[in-house]
Amino acid sequence: MDIDKLDLVTRFQLEKKGNVHGSIYHVTQVEMAYNSNKIEGSRLSEKQTALIFENNIITPAENGEATKLDDIKEAENHFKGFDYILDHYEEPLSIDQIKTIQGLLKKGTSDEGNPLKPVGEFKVIDNVVGIGYTEVQTAAPDEVVSKLTELIKEYQANTPITLEKIVDFHVKFERIHPFADGNGRTGRLIMFKECLNHNIVPFVLKDVHRDFYYRGLNSWDDEKGYLLDTVGMEQDMYSEFLSKMNFRGNINDSKVPKNKFEERLIKGKENQSLTKGHSTKRKSNESKKL
């Protein structure tokens, strides 16, 4: 086996199976779990998260703070959620898949015994989410299935899938906010999965960039550049990490154009999609002027 010729999804799967310490899979698991949970308020340090993943142990917090059992459980759950998207990265997004991811993330937490916070099921009461400094009214419980179904349908019909379309799906998913909790973590795992599926460099949204991330979510309708720049920065950081690990392959070989004709066809569809988007925006702006 020539390890240098493997794509990233194959490397992930091999390193997961081989339980290789310090591998791309290992580091990505810890980085994803630590940062995604930290964005949502987890008190675990990166070191604590790594020890849970590596040895299933927890050490006292360096600042002396007590550690919440839910924080520990949600770190363990995130590892399982990441494994799930690796096992199912090629499958089209679906309602059941999204429910499964959220269920894995919240299983065994204090939410599981709370009827107002169903695990692996959609919310039963209305909620308002604060994206950055602005509260956003989300979909009502009885609207979730129809709105999420329509979002998935729209996303899958608008091919080829690009980074901007993945991020756009994420923004709209967060605005629907289909679950009582775990929406952000579910959404970020979906983005990673979709990047793997479509041969796009994946990324880990860092907690230290949380404010940029929230600003991007909040400003998406008026200025997509904020969030795309943040995601692009995270992609650059992940690419640099892969380079340090001497990874030279594609993300997903099955989605690489097989010849020049196929490559031109894909680029043509991308340009057509961009032109359509700009045209729609111009019409919208003209309508506003009228």
Looking at the annotation, which residues are catalytic? 177
43 in a labelled binding site = no
**What is each CA distance from 252 to 213, 233, 234, 246, 271, in whole angstroms?**
26, 21, 19, 17, 22
Q: Find the distance separating the first CA and the last CA of the chain, reported in whole Å.
A: 64
282 is in an annotated binding site: no
Which ranges of the chain would DSSP assign to H, the alpha helix?
A: 8-18, 24-39, 46-55, 69-87, 95-106, 144-157, 163-176, 183-197, 210-219, 225-244, 260-289
Determine whether the annotation assigns residue 186 to a binding site: yes
Question: Does 182 count as an annotated binding residue?
Answer: yes
Is 41 part of any known ligand binding site? no
DSSP 150-207: HHHHHHHHSPSP-HHHHHHHHHHHHHH--SSS-HHHHHHHHHHHHHHHTT-------G
Binding site annotation covers 185?
yes
| 268 CB neighbour count, 10 Å cutoff | 11
Query: Scanning the structure block, which residue is given the tokens 């990874």?
Result: 247
Backbone angles phi, psi at 21, to 5 degrees: -70, 135
| Residue 106 DSSP symbol | H
Q: According to the annotation, is 184 in a ligand binding site?
A: yes
Q: Is 187 annotated as a binding residue?
A: yes
Q: Which residues define the annotated binding site for ATP?
A: 181-188, 213-214
Q: Which residues define the annotated binding site?
A: 181-188, 213-214
